[in-house]
Each structure stands twice: as C-alpha cells, then as structure tokens.
Amino acid sequence: MSAAGDVPDGRPDRAARPDRTARRAARLVRWYPRAWRARYGEEFTELLLADIRERPRSAARTLDVARGGAVARLAGAGLCGFGVRDAAAPDVGGHVRASLSSLGCCLAVFLAFGAALSSQLTIGWQWSPTASTQAAIATVVTSAMMLALLALGCAAAVPVLCSVAVRAVGSRGRGLAVPSAVLIAATSVLIIGGRHFGNGWPGTGGHHGLVPAGLSAFEWATSLSVSAYWAHPGALAAFPAAELAWMAVSPLALAAAVTAAATLVRRTELPPRLLVFEARLGAVACAAMAVFLGGCSCWVATGGQRSLFHAGLIDVVAVAVMALALAVAQQAARTARLGLRLGPGLGGN
Amino acid sequence: MPKEPQERNAGAGEARDGEQPLAGFGRYAGPATLIMASLADGTKHGYVLTKDIESFAGVRISPGTLYEALARLESQGLIEAVESDDRRRPYRLTAAGAVALRAHLDAQRRVADVGLRRLAGNWGTA
C-alpha cells in the first residue's frame, strides 16, 4: 500500500506534500459519479497521487480527468460507452436499460413541450382553420405524431410494467415498491388534474376540430406550465389560484412520474428480447420525434400568423428544448443499439 | 510471455467475422490497444501501465483516459482486475482480450505492410 506523499522516483517535492497532494487527488476524483468511484476510486486516486508527484502542475491532467468524469457520468446515464461493470456480474443489460431510461426521459420532455405546441395549434383549429400553409402542416403533422408517440409510449410501457409487476409480486421486487407507488400517484395527479382543468376551460368550444376537443383540452391542461406568462408576473397574478397551483404542480408531477419510471426500468431485469424490442421502439420514436420537430419548426420559423396561430418566443424556446431532447434521445438509442450488439448474451443484432 | 491465457470470460468480446475487434471503442481504440499490448506480458496496475506504455510507445496516457479505456476493456471482458490487497489494483488480459488484441494487431500489421510496400515501390527505401 502506498501512502499519500510517497514519491515514485524518491525526489522530494514541495508541491507534493502528502495532505495537499491527497486533497488535490480527492478533488479530481469527485469529477466521477459515485458508482464509478466505488469501483475505481481507490486505484484511480493512487494513480493520481503518483501523477501529481511527477507533474505537480498540469492543466492537461485536470482537463483529462474532468472530461473522463463527464464521460463516466454520461456512460452512467446510458448515453455513451459502457457503464461500470460489477466485477462479479457483467451487467451489459443494465447499461442498455440505462440508455432506454434516458431515452424515455427525453421522450417525456419532448412530449411535455410538444403538447404545449400541439395544443396551441389544435385549439386554434377548433375555432378557425388556419390560412397559413405552415401552420396547417404543423397542426396535421404534430397531431399525427403526438398520437404515434403516445401509442409507442404505451407499447413500450406495457411489457415493462408487466415485468415490474411480476417481479414486484415475486421475491425479486425489492426496491420497486416506492418508485411504483410514486409512478402511480404522479400519473394519477397528471391525469386527474389534466382532466379537471381541461374540462373547465372553454377554449375548445369551437366547431372545426382536427382532433377531438377533449384531447386538445387535455394536452393544453397538462402542458399549462409551458407558458410565456412566467415572464409576466403581473399577468400571472391575475390567474385563479387553483390554476397557478396546477402550473406549479403539474411539471413536478411529470418529473416525479418520469423519474420513477426510469428508476423502475433501471432496477428491473428485462429479458434480452424485450430490450431489443424496446430499443427498436426507441428508434421509431426518435424518427417520429424528428418528424414532429420538423412540423413545428416550419411553423415557428415563419412565425405562423396573427392571433390564433401566432408563434411566439415561448414556441421558439419549446422547439429548442425539443431539439435538444431529440439529440439526447438519439444518442441514447445509439448507445442502446451498441450495447445490444456488443453485449454478450443479449442476443441483439 | 505468460502461457496462461485465462479461460474465464472466453467468448466475451471475441472478434466476430468481419467485425473490428475493438468496435465501439471509438477514440479509446488507441489507448485500449496500448493497454492490452502492455498487459500481454503480465499483470500491471495503473501507474506501471502508464510507465510501460510510455517506454515502448513514447506516449504518456493521462489518468482519465487510461481509466476510461480500462473501464471499457473491463466491461467488454477483454481485461480483468486481479484480487489484491494493494490499493493499486492490477489488471490482466483475458483469453478473449488476447484473441481481440491479436486480431487488431494483425489488421494493423496488414495496413503497415501495404503502406511500407507502396512506400518502397514509389519512394525507395531511404
């Protein structure tokens, strides 16, 4: 065991006093996520101590470690490379599940902002079909893709939830009860709240519905927090208290539901064939998200038209967030495919 | 050269037909090759790996890059950690790692042979 302060070549170095060197090494190791530190922390610290003694000042080393830590964190989220491998049990499936969890989180963010844009368009159409070609294309495309993404989400969720239920009932369900309860509670809040505020809003009383008015109202209600009113506190203060509370609660409920779902996926061993199925659904979802984004972009880029179909700054921000979510989702889908291809015993292709 | 290619993990990470043995390593393929080449003659821990690679390749691999490549190699079953009381945990090549390294170096040698032959044909041997 080498103690902090040992010098590999025996040279004393003022900059390499044991406590100072150890502190610097400890600071550098903190760039890495906890799981990585648990596995490699001790040995990596030893290497850093030796390196610091040889090169007391090295910006390149700091940058290299920071980059390595960022990569390890991305790998932990299933967004690149390979995760930390348990020495006793190779867990390539776990890394694929992490990728699929991240993909699901990105899809949820995309849908949250997409619902805000889609509901704006479909509710506008309730009152008057648009004269703008771009807005018309965007309305049709986003409506179709929203339905497709919801169908894909259900197709992906059902088999996973069945696997979770089987394990929760059996003896392998440890650690699943709390996220399952949070998922059920948060989803219930979103559905009940969305239905309540959607039903109470008169904005969907028009007669030219491209999609059912109730669906538009539900979309609008669940994405009420994606609003330009946050930048106008005066106008926001005039909102009914219940609506304000819903604007604050609904994103929290969505975040809780998504976090719980991701936790369930990460903690539940899924059969290799199901992982392959989920990865394929993820790839299709990425394509649907790209089409959705294309439809929105052609509307937002032209600014839509005055009144009902006007595209404002909040819509530009929403498109930017959706583009980022799509980019991360595609990276997660790529990583999942790579894991399935290279992972021993997963049987992917 | 040790005559004890470990049988554990055999199969994991083996090169499939027509597939690059280090596919998926991206920018870490270079460090991964150097690490496996260094481990080909026995177990080494991080610091000794760095020094050995520096001596035979003239390249100093920074700690972050070294451990990123080590983690990837280990996750693919191409190397494995050896139980040790030392905080500096040593690593060794697995049987699958030896197969992958041989395939990778053979591919590199073919490229080097072609390049050297063409250089000799057009530029002489000087």
Domain-located, residue A82: no
Torsion sign over Cα A6, A8, A10, A16: negative
User: Does residue A292 register a pLDDT over 80?
Assistant: yes
A113 shares a domain with A40: no
Domain-located, residue A43: yes
Domain-located, residue A235: yes
Distance CA A195, CA A139 (A): 22
Q: Please give the pLDDT value at position A338.
A: 81
How many domains are there within chain A?
A: 2
**Interface residue of B83, B87, B92 to substitute, partner A, most A CBs within 10 Å:** B87
Q: Which fold has domain B26-121?
A: Arc Repressor Mutant, subunit A (1.10.10)
Span A283-300, average pLDDT: 92
Domain-located, residue A85: no
Structure token digits, residue A134: 């771009």
Domain-located, residue A247: yes
A70 shares a domain with A210: no
User: What is the tens place of the pLDDT at every residue in A170-204?
Assistant: 766 678 889 999 999 999 999 999 988 888 776 66
A230 shares a domain with A113: yes
Distance CA A102, CA A320 (A): 18
Cβ contact (<8 Å) for B75 and A95? yes
Which residues does A contribute to its contact with B (CB < 8 Å)? 1-2, 8, 36, 40, 42-48, 50-51, 60-61, 64-69, 71-72, 75, 81-85, 87, 90, 92, 95, 338, 341-342, 344
Span A206-215, average pLDDT: 70
- Please enumerate in sequence order all residues whose Cβ is within 8 A of that of A261, keeping only pairs 6 or more positions apart, or say none: A101, A104, A157, A179, A183
pTM over 0.90: no
Distance CA A231, CA A38 (A): 43
Query: Minimal Cα distance from A3: which residue of B?
Result: B87
User: Does residue A16 register a pLDDT over 90?
Assistant: no
User: Domain boundary at A38, A60, A76, which?
Assistant: A76
Strands (DSSP E) found in A137-241 = none
Span A144-150, average pLDDT: 91
Domain-located, residue A91: no
User: Does residue A90 register a pLDDT over 80?
Assistant: no
Coil, helix or strand at residue A255: helix
Cβ contact (<8 Å) for B63 and A45? no
Span A39-52, average pLDDT: 92
Question: Do A304 and A311 touch, CB atoms closer than 8 A?
Answer: yes
Other CB atoms within 10 Å distance of the CB of residue A310: 14
A120 shares a domain with A61: no
User: What is the tens place of the pLDDT at every residue in A229-288?
Assistant: 888 888 888 888 888 899 999 999 999 999 999 999 988 888 888 999 999 999 999 999
User: Does residue A306 register a pLDDT over 90?
Assistant: no
- Model confidence at A208, pLDDT cuts 50, 70, 90, reads low
Structure token digits, residue B117: 């032959």
Question: Do B115 and B28 touch, CB atoms closer than 8 A?
Answer: no
Q: Residue A221, CB half-sphere, CA atoms under 13 Å: how many?
A: 25
Q: First vs last Cα of chain A: how many Å apart?
A: 45
Which residues does B contribute to its contact with A (CB < 8 Å)? 11-13, 23-24, 26, 28, 45-47, 50, 62-68, 70-72, 74-77, 80-81, 85-89
Distance CA A230, CA A20 (A): 47
ipTM of this complex = 0.77
Q: Where are the domains of chain B?
A: 26-121
A156 shares a domain with A53: no
A109 shares a domain with A71: no
Range of the domain at A125: 100-342
A289 shares a domain with A218: yes
Domain-located, residue A93: no
Domain-located, residue A325: yes
A58 shares a domain with A107: no
Type of residue at A260? A
Question: Do A257 and A139 touch, CB atoms closer than 8 A?
Answer: no
A257-270 in b/e form (b: 16+ CB < 10 A) is bbbbbbbbbbbbeb
- Model confidence at A134, pLDDT cuts 50, 70, 90, reads confident
Q: Please give the pLDDT value at position B76.
A: 81
Q: Please give the pLDDT value at position A228.
A: 81
- A147-156, A205-214, B25-34, B83-92: segment of lowest average pLDDT: A205-214
A17-55 in b/e form (b: 16+ CB < 10 A) is eeeebbebbeebbebbbeebbebbbebbbbbbbbbbbbe
- Contact list in A for residue B47 (CB cut-off 8 A) is 8, 46-47, 50-51
A215 shares a domain with A117: yes
